[in-house]
Structure 1
Amino acid sequence: MSKVAKAAAGLMVVTILSKILGLFREQVLAAAYGTQMYAAAYSTANSIPIVLFSVIGSAIATSLIPMYNKLREESGERRALEFTNTLVNLITLICLAIAIVGAIFTEPLVKLFAAGYTGEILKTTVNFTRILLFSIIFIGLANIMTGFLQIKNNFLIPGLVGIPYTIVIILSIYLSLNHGIYVLIYGTLIALAFKFLFQVPFAYKKGYRYSLKINLKDEGIKEMMILIMPVVIGIGVGQLNTMIDRSLASTLGTNIVASFGYANKLYEFVQALFVTSILSVMYPKLASLLVKDDMIAFKFSLRKTMNVIIILIVPIIVGAVVLAVPIVRVLLQRGKFTYEDTLITANILKIYTVGILAVAIRDVMARGFYSLHDSKTPMTNGVIAIVINILLNLMFINFMGYKGLALASTIAGYIGLLLFYFSLKKKIGNFEQKEIFVVFTKSLIAASIMGICSKFIFSYISKNINPGFVSDVISLGFSVGIGVVVYFVIIYFFKVEELTSIIDMVKSKLKK
């Protein structure tokens, strides 16, 4: 089993643990605050600093890897570390400035993210946001530490950062019920700080040494700034999509905003588990292959990454569409989270999940462009996709309501994928893309059969045992479990080559 496959498998296992704990966090939040005013205000306020700087932070982490590899190859490890420290200090100052400006102009900032908020909910969201804005500093630094650790082939620790984050927030939710909602807000700020602080000792162990010096004339920084602006725009379109959806959703009611937040968390669970964990391992490899000028291996890795993601994501899409209501009911429906909230969240989840394949494959292609030091193409394609999304949002919300917002994002995602596909083919030529279409077709056929079986099994078990939470868990567990077996048996008989890689990952972890 290759080192890349082992790293991806290890990261996936860690991500499973982290995201299961994250789901529990959402269950606790839903039970405590449902989709009422505090839940909507918290969801909006929590998303603002993430959108404001995770865009730049993700762009930095994405650009740091090829730049660090290049400087290390040309001038050695010490030079690359000096560049990293200049970046750390610059980002700290930039983040502090953004936080201060944001704290001064918080109300108009909130109105950008939630155009429909007025009165008490607007005031509450402004107060929450003013506190959480300072988390931008920790978000920025955490992204740099993540990039550094991935360069050093440590993928496990970045995957674990969600665990202390989630534990702190769960404790904050419980304490806030007796000591006031602001315990949750300050707890979230501390939790975000842990995302950075948790990684520091491990980065130090891998050779990172902090220096206060800032070299504004650093050629690496200048080159990175030129590279990073298109990356910021390219990555930012995804966050901008989320911002637009939530802003328009705020005109439909606070319960819709909260439901979008919960559906987005469930969507992110799948994305982090099966997309981010694979890309985190593959991207440094793609960048290093191009440093060595190995285009054949680059194309091969790119194609295989897409195929593995397709095999894993397609059945999840079908399963989410078929079983969205029982999934949301089991995970979230308790306390102040009602059955009506379940239906709204499930409808959003269905439509969002259909679009996850477009986002995943587009992200793989984008990493390919970044490895090629081409950040303009992803930026251009991303801008086109966001314009389409805005137009579709404004069209669909009038006759489909909140469902139209989710559908617009999904359609725009697939249009963006087509743009990326044609751009990549033009950039690197033939990368045996027919194999990708073959794998997708086989996966879709297998997933469709799986979906029919899962729906039948769920309905049959539900009708033959007493209704309730335990019944839902048993029915859902059996239908998902049998569905997974059906899917992979069919894929096996279809002789899909990439299945071997997935089986190797599982075998390796089971042996350990």
Structure 2
Amino acid sequence: MSSTAQPSATPPTEPPKKSGLLRSGLLVSIMTLLSRVLGLARDIVIAGLFGAGSGADAFFVAFKIPNFLRRLFAEGAFNQAFVPVLSEYRSQRDKNAVQNLINYVAGTLGLTLTAITALAIVAAPVLVWVFAPGFSQSPEKQALTAELLQITFPYLLLISLTAFSGSILNSYDRFAVPAFTPVLLNLSLIGSALWLTPYMAEPVMALAWGVLIAGMAQLLFQLPFLAQIGFLPKPKVSWHDEGVKRILKLMAPALFGVSVSQINLLLDTVLASFLISGSVSWLYYSDRLVELPLGVFAIAIATVILPSLSTRHAEKSTEAFAKTLDWAVRMVLLIAVPAALALALLAEPLLYTLFQYGAMTPHDVDMAAMSLRAYAVGLIAFMLIKVLAPGYYARQDTKTPVKIGIKAMVANMIFNLMLVFWLDHAGLALATSLSAFLNAALLWYGLKKSGVFVWQQGWSKYLLQLLLSASSLVAVLLLFQPELSAWQGADWLQRGMWMAGLVGAGIAVFVLTLVLTGLRLRDIRH
């Protein structure tokens, strides 16, 4: 049966009973939190073994290139193009048509990525020059980065197929498995750093092998669950299949629209490669802390709303679509506001607690804290982008985010050139934050203008509750935070106890203030 045929008269596959979005979002958040905690453990191990020196800089660039392309293509453009088409097939066609779509996408995507991977391995030195041109000032560093990249780049192929598998599972409300999968990356890197390093002539090479091992493990882990729901891909290559052509058409403009923040972060790395040694690592460690709330909450919410929004659009339920978007924005603000304030106020204590051991110096902490505060400024915007963009992609509108993305990237480059000479690496981080606000504002304005985003009741009260709760949080963190000299002189146990106390007290007073001002669980349930 060709998938280019008209929609079958056979009734479409029955969708599984859906959980509430809040419940699904919490499930993804919990799994993602586990991954992020292990990710911090991974970074603690890397910081202790490699610090912020040339070897660490080389690995971070070699890992960032395939990781950036993964976010750009697999979790970015591909996911946003594939899920709406898959949701439409589920709503309007039978199971055979859905299976055909999955088969053709798997084969075509796999073949394309295999060719890209082979080309990238051969052209690794050129890619290093493109993505970190400043490394050319140190031929040894540039050569090491290219060698690392040849090992890490196949991760793009493996993790893209993993993301494809995860998109299918998410569309069938199997959110836990894709959310748990990144845990395997962190376990692999931790194990490689601790146990492979002694066997490598160049110790940092162990991390590159850990990335490759993780890619294979993540893909293999998801296959049994695809078989369980009856949609294990049987790859077939077809550039002429109707569904494949539609996905490709949607993907092309989505490359910019959904991944502008990632492109901006990569531009930071390019410019940071020209700054003093350690700049790339300082940006990496600060970005990792910002990624914690971003990944645990914003991406979790975006993950669960995209299939829901796509289904609402296919069913032409505009009111439910608007309510879902409004709920997502409220949930993002509920997390982003306190998280941004905490990261800014606890920058040095967080970095001391997590990373300042072994090769990581107090000077590295001071430098990373500068970029962490700059990234914290834009955290709200980073998180809003994640939930506003699906408002376009669920409606299969990929052109509008492209126009917005180009404007944001141009603004980011202007801000970079304005701020890098004044604030060095922290100027790059601040430029990314400022351009993210422009991106989020334009995404929201477009949704509002087209009538897709409609303010629901209760916003004035909600914003007041957030303001009062955030003020309480700031007061607690300022009153009870030990002096920086105390953090520097304390051991890991004392630092951990202080940080746990501050975080616990901050969360408690924030939630208590929300409750005292009248917010209840039913108000955020969807």
TM-score in terms of structure 1 length:
0.93
- 2:151 aligns with 131
Shift in CA distance, 474/95, structure 1 to aligned 2, threshold 3 Å: same
- 1:173 aligns with 193
Alpha-carbon distance in 2 for matches of 1:121, 1:410: 29
**Deviation at residue 255 of structure 1 after TM alignment:** 0.8
Alpha-carbon distance in 1 for matches of 2:142, 2:104: 38
Alpha-carbon distance in 2 for matches of 1:430, 1:132: 41
- 2:9 aligns with none
228-237 vs 199-208, greater mean Cα deviation: 228-237
Alpha-carbon distance in 2 for matches of 1:323, 1:40: 25
Alpha-carbon distance in 1 for matches of 2:422, 2:488: 39
1:197 aligns with 2:220: yes
* Equivalent residue in structure 2 for 1:376, among 391, 396, 399: 399
**Deviation at residue 254 of structure 1 after TM alignment:** 2.9
**Deviation at residue 136 of structure 1 after TM alignment:** 1.6
Shift in CA distance, 366/465, structure 1 to aligned 2, threshold 3 Å: closer
- 1:105 aligns with 123
- 2:133 aligns with 115
Shift in CA distance, 430/37, structure 1 to aligned 2, threshold 3 Å: closer
Alpha-carbon distance in 2 for matches of 1:348, 1:215: 46
Task: Describe the superposition over 1:424-465 as per-residue Cα deviations: whole angstroms up to 9, x where unpaired.
Answer: 111125601685565345323421321121121123899799
**Deviation at residue 501 of structure 1 after TM alignment:** 5.8
Contact kept in structure 2, 1:113 and 1:246, CA below 8 Å: yes
* Equivalent residue in structure 2 for 1:93, among 111, 129, 147: 111
Within 5 Å, which residues of 2 pair with 1:229-268? 229-268=252-291
1:72 aligns with 2:90: yes
Task: Describe the superposition over 1:165-190 as per-residue Cα deviations: whole angstroms up to 9, x where unpaired.
Answer: 21111111012431113232122111
Alpha-carbon distance in 2 for matches of 1:97, 1:461: 51
464-473 vs 61-70, greater mean Cα deviation: 464-473
SS state of the match for residue 198, structure 1?
A: helix
**Deviation at residue 95 of structure 1 after TM alignment:** 0.9
Aligned residue pairs, count: 503
- 1:338 aligns with 361
Amino acid at match of 1:30: A
Amino acid at match of 2:301: I
1:51 aligns with 2:51: no
25-34 vs 166-175, greater mean Cα deviation: 166-175
**Deviation at residue 372 of structure 1 after TM alignment:** 1.4
Alpha-carbon distance in 2 for matches of 1:36, 1:5: 42
Shift in CA distance, 228/459, structure 1 to aligned 2, threshold 3 Å: same
* Equivalent residue in structure 1 for 2:315, among 289, 292, 308: 292
SS state of the match for residue 199, structure 1?
A: helix
User: Structure 2, unaligned stretches of length 5 or more?
Assistant: 1-17
SS state of the match for residue 135, structure 2?
A: coil
- 2:13 aligns with none
Task: Describe the superposition over 1:355-395 as per-residue Cα deviations: whole angstroms up to 9, x where unpaired.
Answer: 12112112211101111111111111111001100111011
Shift in CA distance, 185/192, structure 1 to aligned 2, threshold 3 Å: same
364-373 vs 474-483, greater mean Cα deviation: 474-483
- 2:514 aligns with 491
Task: Describe the superposition over 1:96-140 as per-residue Cα deviations: whole angstroms up to 9, x where unpaired.
Answer: 111122122222211221121021111100111122122221122
Alpha-carbon distance in 2 for matches of 1:385, 1:109: 24
SS state of the match for residue 40, structure 1?
A: helix
SS state of the match for residue 342, structure 1?
A: helix
- 2:11 aligns with none
Alpha-carbon distance in 2 for matches of 1:464, 1:187: 32
Contact kept in structure 2, 1:62 and 1:147, CA below 8 Å: no
Shift in CA distance, 464/4, structure 1 to aligned 2, threshold 3 Å: closer
Alpha-carbon distance in 1 for matches of 2:171, 2:306: 10
**Deviation at residue 71 of structure 1 after TM alignment:** 1.7
**Deviation at residue 74 of structure 1 after TM alignment:** 2.4
Shift in CA distance, 194/338, structure 1 to aligned 2, threshold 3 Å: same
* Equivalent residue in structure 2 for 1:10, among 5, 12, 27: 27
288-297 vs 213-222, greater mean Cα deviation: 213-222
Alpha-carbon distance in 1 for matches of 2:52, 2:277: 7
Amino acid at match of 1:155: F
Alpha-carbon distance in 2 for matches of 1:335, 1:436: 48
Shift in CA distance, 475/213, structure 1 to aligned 2, threshold 3 Å: closer
Contact kept in structure 2, 1:333 and 1:342, CA below 8 Å: yes
Alpha-carbon distance in 2 for matches of 1:465, 1:409: 29
**Deviation at residue 52 of structure 1 after TM alignment:** 2.6
- 1:37 aligns with 54
Larger proportion of helix: 1
1:301 aligns with 2:319: no
SS state of the match for residue 428, structure 1?
A: coil
62-71 vs 331-340, greater mean Cα deviation: 62-71
Contact kept in structure 2, 1:35 and 1:337, CA below 8 Å: yes
Alpha-carbon distance in 2 for matches of 1:174, 1:295: 52
Contact kept in structure 2, 1:311 and 1:440, CA below 8 Å: no
Task: Describe the superposition over 1:308-340 as per-residue Cα deviations: whole angstroms up to 9, x where unpaired.
Answer: 110111101111111111111101110101111
Contact kept in structure 2, 1:72 and 1:80, CA below 8 Å: yes
RMSD: 2.2
- 1:386 aligns with 409
487-496 vs 113-122, greater mean Cα deviation: 487-496
Shift in CA distance, 121/501, structure 1 to aligned 2, threshold 3 Å: farther
- 1:62 aligns with 80
119-128 vs 212-221, greater mean Cα deviation: 212-221
Contact kept in structure 1, 2:374 and 2:429, CA below 8 Å: yes
Task: Describe the superposition over 1:138-159 as per-residue Cα deviations: whole angstroms up to 9, x where unpaired.
Answer: 1220111010000110000001
Task: Describe the superposition over 1:62-81 as per-residue Cα deviations: whole angstroms up to 9, x where unpaired.
Answer: 22111012122222121011
Alpha-carbon distance in 2 for matches of 1:399, 1:21: 35
Within 5 Å, which residues of 2 pair with 1:283-432? 283-428=306-451, 431-432=454-455
User: Structure 1, unaligned stretches of length 5 or more?
Assistant: 506-512
Amino acid at match of 1:350: R
Within 5 Å, which residues of 2 pair with 1:464-503? 467-496=490-519, 499-500=521-522
100-109 vs 287-296, greater mean Cα deviation: 100-109
Alpha-carbon distance in 2 for matches of 1:274, 1:400: 30
Amino acid at match of 2:49: A
Alpha-carbon distance in 2 for matches of 1:328, 1:73: 48
Shift in CA distance, 463/197, structure 1 to aligned 2, threshold 3 Å: closer
- 1:508 aligns with none
